[in-house]
Amino acid sequence: MTTPFPTSGLGVFFCFISEDDMPKEGDPILNYISTLESINQQLVETLRFCIQLLTEFKAQVRDPKEWQEMLNMLTLVLHEAENAPEKKTFH
């Protein structure tokens, strides 16, 4: 039996592989992916903390409007990073 899974690229592609070829728990590639996800989660938490700290300085900067634009951009990046795990294609 083959199992389709989407792969990323310019469009949506499906790759058919047999269940015997699927990575198993303990497989180095799955360990690598798990490590990357852990690091990404730490980065998300750090970004959230930085946004909180930077927000406290808004009243003290020369141009609060530009400062707010920066905070908005960082918040957008944070939301994208938080939603990234929901967009996983495989594993």
The answer to whether position 10 is within a domain reads no
Element (H, E) at 4: strand 2-7
pLDDT in tens, the chain (91 residues): 444 444 444 444 555 556 666 667 778 888 888 888 889 899 999 999 999 999 999 889 999 999 999 999 999 999 998 887 676 655 5
pTM: 0.61
Domain count, the chain: 1
* HSE value, Cβ hemisphere, 13 Å, CA-based, for 88: 9
Contact 74, 50 (CB under 8 A): yes
Sign of CA pseudo-dihedral 52, 56, 62, 65 = positive
**Structural domain of residue 68, as residue ranges?**
21-86
The answer to whether position 3 is within a domain reads no
